A = this chain, B = another copy of it.
Amino acid sequence: MRRHYATIKDIAHALNISVSTVSRALRDTYDVSADTRKLVLDMAMKLNYKPNFNATGLVKNSTHNLAVILPGITNYYFSTVFTGIQEIAYSHNYNIILYVTNDDADRELNIIRNLSFSSLDGLLVSVSSQAGSCDHFQEIIDDGIPVVFFDRVAADIRTSKVMQDDYNGAFEATTHLIANGYKKIAHIAGPEGLTFTDSRLNGYLDALSKHGMPIRKKWIIHSGFTQECGESDMEKLWKLNDKPDAVFAVNDRKAVGAIVMLKKKNIAVGKEVGVIGFTNDPMSAIISPSLSTIAEPAFEIGKKSCQLLLNHIKKKNFIPEEIILPGKLIVRESSIRS
């Protein structure tokens, strides 16, 4: 059976003093002499006392718990963001309750609805890709719960947001392809309606028009984020009469899918068809030819959003901030013709 942990009352009883004094001594606040404080601390150690967070949470109306809601954890980007979050939370003695939605909007809604805000100090979320309405987030924010969005942000909600510079990253990636002599550049995009999908699409489009390159609707394909999606997108592109000679993919997994498909068709990646991705997933260095990409500051995004959330929690009426962190072009083999 579960043993009963020593409480503050046990300490008080053992020392023959009052619970209030013990409470004050343990928290090192005012109105307690050095002698009794030492007595209490020693006894607490001896009895293996551990504070009951339910009790403190009940009276202080604040636990040290943060909720993190992610579409998934089994990929480089989100797991790295999470590691960044964890790093900050750990150093500030906050615990993280992690929920993964599997990119399922219903599940996301269900999680939100069942969230117990009485035992939560704040919320970090990257929305599910199929998430339609974001009313449920607005409700939470209206209730006064600090919320920070990252990566996949909900555009029309006024709260703090942290993201990479999707537009400029995409612009740079496309420009890089142009600079390397590719003339007919396609875009393998993510699902429509997601903020960052749109930003990367716009970066791609603006880079093309700035350099007077042709824009063709058929060269823009929307689908999911997986490698398999990348493969079938590439296959579709290759069935076109007017084939592209380069591809900018919305993320590395799809870019890897594109490369896999091109290799299947015995097309020389780089020389014949250029490919560039987005993320800098470790896979991009492993695949051959290695994949050029825009490195995302995933770890930094995690750290920054957690810091923002903690500020939000500490200062009431904290003004929402939007932070955009730059990416970095990484040139490898898949995008150079030589």
Contact = CB atoms under 8 A, between A and B. Distances in A.
Contact of A1 (B100, B114, B316): B316
B73 A119 contact: no
Interface residues of A, number: 53
A18 interface: no
Interface in A1-51: 1-3, 5, 50-51
A96 interface: yes
A223 interface: no
Contact of A79 (B63, B74, B117, B227): B74
A50 to B, nearest CB: 6
A54 B118 CA distance: 7
Centre residue among A65, A74, A260 by max chain B CB count within 10 A: A74
Interface string A82-114: 110010001001011111100000010000001
A178 to B, nearest CB: 27
Contacts of A107: 90
A140 to B, nearest CB: 11
Interface string A116-145: 111100000000000000000000001111
Would you call the interface of chain A mostly helix, strand, loop, or mixed?
mixed
Nearest to A260: B286
Interface of A: 1-3, 5, 50-55, 57-58, 61, 63, 65, 72-76, 79-80, 82-83, 86, 90, 93, 95-100, 107, 114, 116-119, 142-145, 227, 256, 260, 282-283, 286-288, 316-317
23 contacts: A3-B142, A3-B144, A5-B143, A50-B118, A51-B116, A51-B118, A52-B58, A53-B54, A53-B118, A53-B119, A54-B54, A54-B57, A57-B119, A63-B119, A79-B79, A83-B100, A90-B107, A95-B97, A97-B98, A119-B119, A227-B282, A286-B287, A287-B288
